[in-house]
Amino acid sequence: MKIPTSMLVMSVVTAVPFGLAIRDNGERRIDQANPFERSRARTVSEEDQAIELSNALEQQTLTEPDLRIIRRVMKDPSDLGLFGQAPASLGSLFGGSELGAVTSEPVFEAIGDADNDAFRIHVMQSNGEHTSGLRIEILQECDAVQQRLEQTWGRSPDSIWVDPAKHQRASFDSVACALTIEQYATPDAWFAKTGPAVVSLDQLDPSSRDNQGEDEAAYVRSLYGLGLGRGRGPTIMRSYVNHGAVTGLDVSVDTDRETAEAVRLRLTNLLGPPKYDATYGYSDWSGKLPIHFEMTSTHLLLTIGKRPQ
């Protein structure tokens, strides 16, 4: 039976280096330089499986991207192809797939579901839509992967890299040993009075209804959207609903001060000059939907409308 290409490639990524490194000295142990399983002996059964998998390549029809991935890993097992040469880009493991593209969904799902002991991939989605980011947990040789990352993208004081042209960013968590590559929103795409945006005043239109809890007097519903600028994680929105009508919205997002100031300027251009509190740096817009704006060194906070009493 023909092995599914995605599963074969993922298996080769983690297993072929073991088969290639087997010594013919009777001990049949893994080469000590292997970065996945350094200093760990493998059983004859495991080694045979790796050899069989390597031999299966001769009978399997693979695409050229698949072959490029396999050749790289066979040459240098520490290069998993998780990230590309450009900052915040996906590596060749993903075969040219792009975040947010419909055609990329099967690739992300196949790689995310594949079982291997080198890394684990979690698919991130924005409100259940297309894949907006990937969180990659490094399970082996964290220091080596981080070193390769910094050699490729350059050192970053906050371990964040941004590609403004693609609106894509990456961040590395050295404690969890996890690399996140995700899309982000610009200030113009993040806030709008009407129309599509991460945060839109349309979300508090009195004519809009939240039928999920129409019979409840008041409750809170959480939503998640693309992150903003040079930051980490999604935009978190808590909508306050009273008898099905959305009455208020609390918004929190991790971002840099420069981007937060750009959002304040956008609100001013759309809504007019705010009342500014010079002591705390707060900005308030009055009107049918009052808006309160504040920011810290790493967070932007918005309160729109009213919370239920």
The closest alpha carbon to 255, from 155, 129, 130, 171, belongs to: 171
- 302 compared with 54, residue with greater pLDDT: 302
**How many Cβ atoms sit within 10 Å of the Cβ of residue 36?**
22
The pLDDT score that the predictor gives to residue 114 is 65
Mean per-residue pLDDT for 104-117?
A: 72
Going along the chain from its start, the domains and CATH numbers come out as 1-65 (no CATH), 80-184 (no CATH), 187-305 (3.40.1000)
The pLDDT score that the predictor gives to residue 82 is 87
The pLDDT score that the predictor gives to residue 158 is 92
Residue whose token pair is 């945006």: 197
The pLDDT score that the predictor gives to residue 266 is 96
Mean pLDDT, rounded, of the chain: 75
- 88 compared with 26, residue with greater pLDDT: 88
Sorted by sequence, the CB contacts under 8 Å of residue 154 that are 6+ apart come out as 87, 161
Report the range of poorest mean pLDDT among 76-80, 108-112, 220-224. 76-80
Mean per-residue pLDDT for 7-36?
A: 42
The closest alpha carbon to 300, from 272, 259, 248, 269, belongs to: 259
CB 201 within 8 A of CB 248: no
According to DSSP, the residues that pair with 237 across neighbouring strands are 223, 251
The pLDDT score that the predictor gives to residue 34 is 41
The pLDDT score that the predictor gives to residue 11 is 54
- Residue 201 confidence (pLDDT) above 70: yes
The pLDDT score that the predictor gives to residue 306 is 78
Report the range of poorest mean pLDDT among 20-24, 198-202, 305-309. 20-24
- 86 compared with 65, residue with greater pLDDT: 86
List own/partner pairs for 250-254 with CB under 8 A and 24 or more apart. 250/301, 250/302, 250/303, 250/304, 250/307, 251/199, 251/300, 251/301, 251/302, 251/303, 251/304, 252/299, 252/300, 252/301, 253/190, 253/227, 253/228, 253/299, 253/300, 254/227, 254/228, 254/298, 254/299
Residue 73 region, left (φ>0) first, then alpha (ψ -120 to 50), else beta?
Answer: alpha
The pLDDT score that the predictor gives to residue 2 is 44
- 5 compared with 168, residue with greater pLDDT: 168
What percent of the chain stands above pLDDT 90? 39
- Residue 262 confidence (pLDDT) above 90: yes
- 32 compared with 87, residue with greater pLDDT: 87
The pLDDT score that the predictor gives to residue 124 is 82
The pLDDT score that the predictor gives to residue 107 is 77
| DSSP-derived secondary structure for the chain | -PPPHHHHHHHHHHHHHHHHT--SSSS----TT-SSSTT----HHHHHHHHHHHHHGGG----HHHHHHHHHHHH-TT----B-SSTT-B-GGGTT--TT-GGGHHHHHHHHH---SSEEEEEEESTTSSEEEEEEEE-S-HHHHHHHHHHHH---TTSEEEETTTTEEEEEETTTTEEEEEEEE-HHHHEESSSS-SEEGGGG-TT---GGGTTSSSEEEEEEE-EESS--S-EEEEEEEETTEEEEEEEEEE--HHHHHHHHHHHHHHH-PPEEETTTTEEEE-SSS-EEEEE-SSEEEEEEE----
Q: Which tens digits make up the pLDDT trace of 210-253?
A: 545 455 556 677 888 999 999 999 999 998 887 777 788 999 99
**Binning pLDDT at 50, 70 and 90, where does residue 52 land?**
low
Report the range of poorest mean pLDDT among 66-70, 82-86, 144-148. 66-70
The pLDDT score that the predictor gives to residue 25 is 38
**Binning pLDDT at 50, 70 and 90, where does residue 303 land?**
very high
Q: Is the pTM of this model over 0.85?
A: no
Q: Which tens digits make up the pLDDT trace of 143-177?
A: 888 888 999 999 999 999 999 999 999 999 999 99
**Binning pLDDT at 50, 70 and 90, where does residue 294 land?**
very high
